[in-house]
């Protein structure tokens, strides 16, 4: 063996090591970080919308908010998660109303994720919801602070990023209330807590009739696993009708007995 040959292997070994994927995210730690975010308020964060204009997340306060974090170059996990979230949002809109909540998708791969790439991302997955905003950042430090606030974890790898698949649910005061996990989740995991938040929002600005309609709609929408959607449940009204009939029959019987007793008493006189 000629002297110096091992030294020529060192750069090659370095290239091999660089090509190896980074250490995988540790499941328990990722979950702990994600759950620790529950109860935090979002704080002041300004990103860029699809047209490159400043977009303050605080402007969405006043109604529940769903936040997903993706990177636009992801062709597997993020695509599945975005398509499924779009379907869940459409179902929730049918149940809760078109303006009941907002949705935000944030691109975390700075500087690749820019307004034009997030615009293309939304177009690619045919998301046309008027209250769904696709955002990016021009300040990587501010972006890191935001996704850390959300309890989002990611790790660079040789093929892109490994990251947690989660949707963060915030209330009208932009306090984190729940994390929904998985690229595909059961619809009630998102819609049921969202219903609770919509139910608890301030309704002072609405009239009595509008509030009554909201209550009926929220109480009477149930998940049908066979059709995989929320449907209006008429059983509450059937129960109310049966109860009213029973009460009515009871009152009729009491009045009838009272009248019969009065007539009998007069006859004996």
Lowest mean pLDDT among 18-27, 43-52, 158-167: 18-27
Lowest mean pLDDT among 135-144, 224-233, 249-258: 224-233
Which tops the pLDDT comparison, 105 or 233? 105
* Secondary structure element (H or E) that encloses residue 85, with its range: helix 77-96
Whether residue 212 lies inside any domain: the answer is no
Please give the pLDDT value at position 234.
46
Which tops the pLDDT comparison, 100 or 205? 100
Whether residue 267 lies inside any domain: the answer is no
pLDDT over threshold 90, residue 225: no
Arithmetic mean of pLDDT over the chain: 80
Number of domains composing the chain: 1
* Secondary structure element (H or E) that encloses residue 107, with its range: strand 102-107
Which CATH number is 117's domain given? 3.40.30.10
* Nearest-angstrom CA–CA distance, 187 and 170: 17
Please give the pLDDT value at position 19.
37
Lowest mean pLDDT among 78-82, 162-166, 260-264: 260-264
Query: What residue numbers bound the domain in which 60 lies?
Result: 19-205
Whether residue 247 lies inside any domain: the answer is no
Please give the pLDDT value at position 229.
52
Whether residue 240 lies inside any domain: the answer is no
Using pLDDT thresholds of 50, 70 and 90, give the confidence band for residue 236.
Answer: very low
**pLDDT tens, residue by residue, 23-81:** 567 888 999 999 999 999 999 999 999 999 999 999 999 999 999 999 999 988 899 99
Residue 64 CB partners (closer than 8 Å, separation 6+): 100, 101, 102, 169, 170, 171, 172, 194, 197, 198, 201
Whether the link from the prior residue into 32 is cis, omega within 30° of 0, is: no
Whether residue 165 lies inside any domain: the answer is yes
Q: Mean pLDDT, to the nearest integer, of 130-144?
A: 97
Name the range with the highest mean pLDDT among 94-98, 99-103, 155-159, 245-249. Answer: 99-103
Whether residue 211 lies inside any domain: the answer is no
Whether residue 44 lies inside any domain: the answer is yes
Taking the CA atoms of residue 37, residue 167, residue 192 and residue 175 in that order, the dihedral angle to the nearest 10 degrees is 40
Please give the pLDDT value at position 212.
44
Q: Is 129 exposed, middle or buried (0-12, 13-18, 19+ CB in 10 A)?
A: middle
Q: Mean pLDDT, to the nearest integer, of 122-148?
A: 96
Cα 79–Cα 104–Cα 214 angle in degrees, nearest 5: 115
Lowest mean pLDDT among 81-90, 187-196, 258-267: 258-267
Q: The tokens 């696993």 sit on which residue?
A: 225
* Nearest-angstrom CA–CA distance, 187 and 205: 30
* Residues 66 and 90: beta-carbon distance below 8 Å: no
Q: Mean pLDDT, to the nearest integer, of 229-235?
A: 48
* Nearest-angstrom CA–CA distance, 188 and 245: 34
pLDDT over threshold 70, residue 171: yes
Whether residue 233 lies inside any domain: the answer is no
């Amino acid at each position: 063996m000629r002297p110096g040959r091992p030294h020529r292997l060192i750069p090659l070994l370095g290239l091999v090591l660089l090509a190896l994927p980074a250490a995988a995210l540790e499941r328990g730690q990722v979950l702990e970080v994600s759950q620790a975010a529950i109860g935090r308020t979002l704080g002041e964060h300004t990103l860029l919308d699809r047209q490159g204009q400043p977009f303050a997340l605080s402007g969405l306060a006043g109604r529940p908010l769903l936040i997903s974090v993706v990177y636009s170059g992801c062709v597997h996990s993020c695509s599945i998660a975005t398509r499924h979230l779009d379907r869940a949002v459409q179902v929730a809109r049918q149940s809760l109303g078109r303006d009941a909540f907002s949705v935000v998708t944030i691109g975390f791969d700075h500087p690749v994720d820019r307004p034009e790439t997030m615009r293309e991302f939304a177009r690619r997955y045919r998301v046309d919801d008027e209250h769904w905003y696709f955002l990016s950042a021009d300040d990587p430090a501010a972006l890191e602070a935001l996704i850390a606030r959300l309890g989002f974890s990611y790790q660079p790898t040789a093929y892109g990023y490994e990251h947690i698949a989660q949707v963060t649910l915030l209330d009208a005061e932009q306090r984190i209330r729940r994390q929904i996990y998985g690229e595909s989740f059961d619809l009630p995991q998102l819609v049921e807590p969202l219903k609770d938040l919509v139910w608890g929002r301030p309704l002072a600005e609405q009239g009595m009739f509008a509030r009554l309609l909201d209550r009926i709609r929220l109480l009477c929408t149930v998940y049908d696993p066979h059709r995989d959607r929320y449907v209006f449940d008429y059983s509450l009204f059937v129960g109310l009708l049966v109860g009213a009939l029973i009460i009515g029959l009871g009152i009729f019987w009491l009045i009838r007995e009272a009248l019969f007793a009065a007539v009998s008493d007069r006859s004996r006189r």
